[in-house]
Chain A
Amino acid sequence: QVTLRESGPALVKPTQTLTLTCTFSGFSLNSNRMCVFWVRQPPGKALEWLARIDWDDDKWYSKSLKTRLTISKDTSKNQVVLTMTNMDPVDTATYYCARKGPLWNYFDYWGQGILVTVSS
């Protein structure tokens, strides 16, 4: 069965770089048309997509956060890593990784999420 799980720090200081890891199972990012997204959700607010990485290593970023994000994958470990630089309190959110559906850009499987708080 497909599972995804996010890991990383629960607390980061302003200006620091956040590194999150998504470890998944039940599918391969080597498979044609497979993609993994990062999506975040500030407390009590809506969802916002951040980045996507494709089976062929194409990478896509939210326009508003593009300069701060880097996404990468390690297919041997079944992991996707997201780094976000220059963290700010407004970046406090639950960060999810999610698998793109088989055909289009909806999400058929999600990790449980990790709450990251940005505070000094």
Chain B
Amino acid sequence: EMVMTQSPATLSVSPGERATLSCRASQYVSNNLAWYQQKPGQAPRLLIYGASTRATGIPARFSGSGSGTEFSLTISSLQSEDFAVYYCQEYNDWPPITFGQGTRLEIK
């Protein structure tokens, strides 16, 4: 059974600084990984798919990297609207798909 582990659980960063979030897959997933942003009371929003491809309308300050089992999401200069919960999701070997437990990005 696939397990997606995100770290840290909570990340405190000041506006304008860089944030790096990690996601580790328990099995090989190639580059079949997506990242989502979720704000309170809202649905998740697709940020990244294919591990590194930004979805339509996503600002360039969001970037994804990694392949295999280790992935990261970097936000280069945090804006106030970026403080949210971020989820990774693998889709390598359907079915199933698996989400990580999330990283809460909070203002320092």
> Closest Cβ of chain B: how far from A93's Cβ, in Å?
13
Cβ contact of A110, chosen from B43, B50, B102, cutoff 8 A: B43
Please determine whether A60 and B99 come into contact, CB atoms closer than 8 angstroms. no
Which residues of chain A are within 8 angstroms of B99 by Cβ–Cβ distance? Answer: 46-49
Stretch at the interface among A7-15, A18-26, A74-82, A99-107: A99-107
> Closest Cβ of chain A: how far from B30's Cβ, in Å?
11
Q: Which of A98, A105, A113 has the most CB of B within 10 A?
A: A105
Q: How far is the CA of A105 from the CA of B36 in the complex (A)?
A: 13
Which residues of chain A are within 8 angstroms of B101 by Cβ–Cβ distance? Answer: 46
Q: How far is the CA of A63 from the CA of B96 in the complex (A)?
A: 8
Secondary structure at the A interface, as helix, strand, loop or mixed, is loop
Query: In chain B between 32 and 66, which residues have their CB closer than 8 angstroms to a CB of chain A?
Result: 32, 34, 36, 42-46, 49-50, 55-56
Knowing A46-B100, A62-B96, the reply to whether A106 touches B91 (Cβ < 8 A) is yes
Query: In chain A between 34 and 87, which residues have their CB closer than 8 angstroms to a CB of chain B?
Result: 46-49, 52, 60, 62-63
Chain B residue at smallest Cβ distance from A111: B43
- List 20 additional contacts besides A47-B44, A96-B44; criterion CB under 8 Å: A46-B99, A46-B101, A47-B89, A49-B96, A60-B95, A62-B96, A98-B43, A101-B49, A104-B49, A104-B50, A104-B91, A105-B94, A105-B97, A106-B49, A106-B89, A107-B46, A110-B43, A110-B44, A111-B43, A112-B42
Chain B interface residues toward A at CB < 8 A: 32, 34, 36, 42-46, 49-50, 55-56, 87, 89, 91, 94-97, 99-102
23 examples of A-B residue contacts, CB within 8 angstroms: A46-B87, A46-B102, A47-B89, A47-B99, A52-B95, A60-B94, A63-B96, A96-B44, A101-B46, A104-B32, A104-B50, A104-B91, A105-B94, A106-B49, A107-B34, A107-B36, A107-B89, A108-B46, A108-B55, A108-B56, A110-B45, A111-B43, A113-B43
